[in-house]
Structure 1
Amino acid sequence: MTQAGRTQRDQLSALLRSKPIVRAYELRKVGIAGQTIKRAVDDGELVRISRGLYQRADTDVDTEQALAEAAKLVPKGVIAMVSALAFHGLTDQMPRKIWVAISTKDWAPAPTYPPIRIVEFRDKYMQQGIEHHRISGVDVPVFSVTKTLADIFRNSKLVDRSVAVEGLRAALEQRKATPGAIAEAAMGAGAWRIMRPYLEALTSNG
């Protein structure tokens, strides 16, 4: 290997220590050539997990890491619905696909890994309640607890009502949101009429 090649591999190794998941264009942008990436894959240092997306070989794949990979594959998307509910610890369900919301005017790829389920939201519903979490060196946008609950109640054709009620109950029991904050988010997201009887039943003293 040439000195330049060694320098690029050293640079690649340093980058992977801080960002276990990287896209090919990010590597090229810092001067790492395609041949260096290929050698790293051949040597087992790097794993190609989908087209243009790589991960450090010794990194354990877990649910949160899959969220990071999804965020890279759909850069304008936000982790939503059941995946956001699971991220916040409000359901025992582990969705087979990562739910990602995009605006109706945006386009999203259909990657093979991780499996992603795209749900389209109108622009006004895309701008509310976005949190940013750092996962595996990646900035991952995730809808907040209250926004996620509102979205799940609003989209009853996509998610069973029992999942929505379970999430609402868990959010209240774990004190991850106040009834007032949940109601406010539901009003802003067009879900208050549907959610109201469930929230009132769960917060009544009777």
Structure 2
Amino acid sequence: MSESDSTRSFRVQLQSLFRLHGGQLRLSEALAKGINRYQFYQLRDEGLIEPVSRGLYRLADLPPIENPDLVAAVTRFPHAVLCLISALDWHGITTQIPHQVHLAVERDARLPVLDYPPVAGYRFSGRSFSEGIAQVTVDGITLQVYNPEKTLADCFKFRNRIGMDVVLEALELYRTRKTFLPGKLMEYARICRVANVMAPYVEAKL
């Protein structure tokens, strides 16, 4: 086989490997499959693959990434959960534009830090971390995000950091744009230990 045939065969092999992984592949995964680093970077230099975030690449002929900041943050911190204003934005119940990606981690975990996109990390403990997590797909990447009701309870808990006006706007947008579930809201309010604070505002929306 000539060198050009060998190169062509390799390109087909690596592109097939990318497609098996939904068009995106980590360098470490490629190395584990027997692809050497030089071959991998050769494809990058030829413009056939492009970086998404550190260590993660995608086929260049895929549609443009719609949420590059979320993808970059999630690939760096796969065990974190999208929370607070970022989760409100995901669910369409805020007019705020997140200037950071808000991520929750378990109490004993290191807070996520990233230069770009900027990340704001929060430590949650016990059930306040583990309850209410939904898994969604963003640009081919699995993302963890708190459901709307858990997000609202978290916002009441962190109201001094994000602003009560933001919290109350989110509650009203939740009432008008989602199925209003006061029982579910109060269930998460109890988990987050903000039931006494949250109850009057929920009752006012009934």
Q: Does TM, scored on the shorter chain, surpass 0.5?
A: yes
Q: RMSD of the alignment, in Å?
A: 2.3
Residues 126-173 of structure 1, C-alpha deviations (whole Å, 9 max, x = no match): 111011112222221111111111001101232111111111111111
Structure 1 contact 48–54 (Cα < 8 Å) conserved: yes
Structure 2 contact 105–124 (Cα < 8 Å) conserved: yes
Counterparts of 2:202 and 2:105 in 1: how far apart (Å)?
27
Q: TM-score, normalised by structure 2?
A: 0.85
Q: Runs of 4 or more off by more than 6 Å in structure 1?
A: none
2:58 aligned counterpart, secondary structure: strand
Query: What are the residue-to-residue correspondences of 1:157-168 with 2, within 5 Å?
Result: 157-168=160-171
Matched, 1:77 2:80: yes
Aligned length: 202
CA shift for structure 1 position 91: 1.2
Determine the structure 2 residue equivalent to 1:122. 125
Query: Any stretches of 5+ residues in structure 2 without a counterpart?
Result: none
Worse-superposed segment, 2-11 or 28-37 = 2-11
Counterparts of 1:56 and 1:157 in 2: how far apart (Å)?
43
Determine the structure 1 residue equivalent to 2:65. 61
Determine the structure 2 residue equivalent to 1:10. 12
Residue 13 of structure 1 aligns with an amino acid whose one-letter code is Q
Q: TM-score, normalised by structure 1?
A: 0.85
Residues 1:183 and 1:9: Cα distance change in structure 2 (over 3 Å)? same
Determine the structure 1 residue equivalent to 2:95. 92
Structure 1 contact 50–113 (Cα < 8 Å) conserved: no
Structure 1 contact 79–99 (Cα < 8 Å) conserved: yes
Identity over aligned pairs, percent: 29
Determine the structure 2 residue equivalent to 1:137. 140
Query: What are the residue-to-residue correspondences of 1:29-40 with 2, within 5 Å?
Result: 29-40=32-43
CA shift for structure 1 position 34: 1.4
1:157 aligned counterpart, secondary structure: helix
Residues 1:113 and 1:3: Cα distance change in structure 2 (over 3 Å)? farther
2:105 aligned counterpart, secondary structure: strand
Determine the structure 1 residue equivalent to 2:200. 197
Question: Which of the numbers 174, 177, 181 marks the counterpart of 1:174?
Answer: 177
Structure 2 contact 53–72 (Cα < 8 Å) conserved: no
Matched, 1:48 2:57: no
Counterparts of 2:13 and 2:193 in 1: how far apart (Å)?
49
Structure 1 contact 50–111 (Cα < 8 Å) conserved: no
2:120 aligned counterpart, secondary structure: strand
Find the structure with the greater CA-based Rg.
2
Counterparts of 1:147 and 1:111 in 2: how far apart (Å)?
25
Query: Any stretches of 5+ residues in structure 1 without a counterpart?
Result: none
Structure 1 contact 16–56 (Cα < 8 Å) conserved: yes
Counterparts of 2:40 and 2:117 in 1: how far apart (Å)?
21
